[in-house]
Structure 1
Amino acid sequence: MAKRNIIWTRTADIQFVGILEYWVKRNKSNTYSKKLVKLVSDRTKQIADEPLIYKATDFKDIRVTSVGNFSIYYKVKSKEIIITAFWDNRQNLKELLEILNHKK
């Protein structure tokens, strides 16, 4: 299977940046956020290389992988991977369900 390009939706990008900003503000340091960026970068590279190794969801064409307390939801296309959500698993699940339902 050929390696695919990773494309972040606006929603997923806003979620990820918001989480990074939250941790910088909370910790008064960017150390944890830098670590999280590295972990997410490594995981998205794995997804690009082997997109079907992670769990399928109940949502059409959406798969999920976890990175610590966070989940990356994505769709596999022929030439790209679309990151549809970056979710802190400690947040309200209802909001996530609304996001995923709109990405059909």
Structure 2
Amino acid sequence: MAKRNVIWTRTADIQFVGILEYWVNKNKSNTYSKKLIKLVSERTKQIAEQPLIFKATDFKDTRVASLENFSIFYKFNDKEIIITAFWDNRQNPKKLLKILENKK
């Protein structure tokens, strides 16, 4: 099977960048953010290679891959992995519900 391209939605990208900025400001260092970028890169590579190994959700065609305190929500087809949300699991889950419901 050909390798799938990983595409981040605008929402997921904004969430990820916001989390990275939060940790840079909180820690007064970019060390943790760099570590997180590396972990996310490795996890999205895993998703692209084997999208079915991660848990299905109650949302149509959406799966979730956990990563430390974060969750990566995605959809896929033969050519693409579409990251629909990047979520810090310590946030209010009602916010996530609204985001995922809008990605139908």
Aligned-partner Cα distance in 2 for 1:85–1:2: 24
- Residue 14 of structure 1 corresponds to which residue in structure 2? 14
Aligned-partner Cα distance in 1 for 2:56–2:81: 14
Which structure 2 segments of 5+ residues have no match?
none
Please tell me whether residue 74 in structure 1 is matched to residue 69 in structure 2.
no
Deviations 1:45-88 (A, max 9, x none): 00010111100000000000111000000001221000000000
- Residue 23 of structure 1 corresponds to which residue in structure 2? 23
Aligned-partner Cα distance in 1 for 2:67–2:16: 12
TM-score normalised per structure 1: 0.98
Please tell me whether residue 36 in structure 1 is matched to residue 36 in structure 2.
yes
Aligned-partner Cα distance in 2 for 1:44–1:2: 15
Please tell me whether residue 61 in structure 1 is matched to residue 41 in structure 2.
no
Q: Secondary structure at the match of 1:41?
A: helix
Q: Secondary structure at the match of 1:16?
A: helix
Q: Secondary structure at the match of 2:74?
A: strand
Structure 1 runs, 4 residues or longer, greater than 3 Å off: none
RMSD in angstroms over aligned alpha carbons?
Answer: 0.6
Deviation at 1:2, TM superposition (A): 2.8
Aligned residues: 104
- Residue 96 of structure 2 corresponds to which residue in structure 1? 96
Which structure 1 segments of 5+ residues have no match?
none
Q: Secondary structure at the match of 1:87?
A: strand
TM-score normalised per structure 2: 0.98
